[in-house]
Amino acid sequence: MPTPLNNSIVKAVAILDLFDDKRQELTARDVAELEGLNGITAHRFLKTLSETGLLYSPRKGAFRLGGKLIDYGERAKSFSRLAAQVQPFLNELAAKTKEGAMATTFDGSFVTCIAAAHSDQTFSFNARVGARMEAYATANGKLWLAMADPVMLDSYFAANVLVPLSADTVVDEGVLRQELGRIRRDGYATNRGERETGLSAIAVPVTTRAGNMIAGMSVFGPSARFAGDRWETLLLLLQATAGRIRDIL
């Protein structure tokens, strides 16, 4: 059953879409006529969008696009540039390891794949750019959670239910927090079939020269191929690759 949409958000986006080169400024009356709303509802939408920074009011009753939209656009361009920068390194990882490789960002709830590469060896899991994955059950996600500040981490656990995705999913918050402490200390995270049975992964942070984490990067593949010394081999390769990426940022 498809998840129902939040109609208020859909309507808010529709109002933002009304602005263009010819309509750089709108009033509640304009929005009411163009969107088929009553004047009070239109005004409430405009005031709410203004309070969040998506719009601003240059004078009473008039509204223009706000600066926060520029910020969002710059973030989107930044992610796009980052994806382009890491893609050649992911291709190299996939070629060397004969496994899949991906890079991710984190929105506070889910990790999102921003770039991926696959080897010639076929495997059922296909990392798709734009795919969102549960943070608590993935190597990239646990890495992001481990590097989060305490307030963000507490907010994550308060807002998310840890449901089992496989027989190996860690759904005990205390146990997961202990693992996150180990990840924070050691600088890498693993996934041993926690999101999908038979799929394993290992991830390291990609950081700026100042040490700020800007992406997670992982190698993933069938659990049968992730055993013994292979974990250490993949970790060293990932860490070396992350270092090379850091040097070009």
Task: Parse the chain into domains and list their residue ranges.
Answer: 7-65, 72-248
Q: Considering only CA atoms, which of 196, 198, 220 is closest in space to residue 102?
A: 220
Cα torsion 119, 120, 126, 131 to 10°: value is 40
Q: What is the predicted pLDDT for the residue at 1?
A: 46
- pLDDT of residue 194 exceeding 60: yes
**Average pLDDT estimate for 188-210:** 95
Residue by residue, DSSP assigns 4-63 as PP-HHHHHHHHHHHT--SS---B-HHHHHHHHT--HHHHHHHHHHHHHTTSEEEEETTEE
Q: What is the predicted pLDDT for the residue at 78?
A: 61
Q: What is the predicted pLDDT for the residue at 67?
A: 83
What is the CB neighbour count within 10 angstroms for residue 65?
17
Q: Which two tokens stand for residue 242?
A: 């992350």
Q: Which CATH class is domain 7-65?
A: mainly alpha
Q: What is the predicted pLDDT for the residue at 21?
A: 81
132-170 pLDDT tens trace = 899 999 999 999 999 999 999 999 999 999 999 999 999
Helix (H) or strand (E) holding 176: helix 173-186
Choose which CATH entry (3.30.450.40, 3.30.1120.130, 3.30.1330.50, 3.30.56.10) describes domain 72-248: 3.30.450.40
Q: What is the predicted pLDDT for the residue at 79?
A: 67
Cα 41 from Cα 15, distance rounded (Å):
12
Q: Which two tokens stand for residue 57?
A: 């009011």
Q: What is the predicted pLDDT for the residue at 239?
A: 98
Sign of the CA dihedral running 51, 55, 57, 63:
negative
Place of tokens 């997961």: 176
What is the pTM for the complete model shown?
0.70
Is residue 123 very low, low, confident or very high in pLDDT (cuts 50, 70, 90)?
low
Place of tokens 């079939």: 193
Cα 91 from Cα 159, distance rounded (Å):
35
37-80 pLDDT tens trace = 999 999 999 999 999 999 999 999 999 998 888 767 766 666 67
Considering only residues 174 and 129, tell me which one the structure prediction assigns the higher pLDDT.
174
Cα 175 from Cα 150, distance rounded (Å):
16
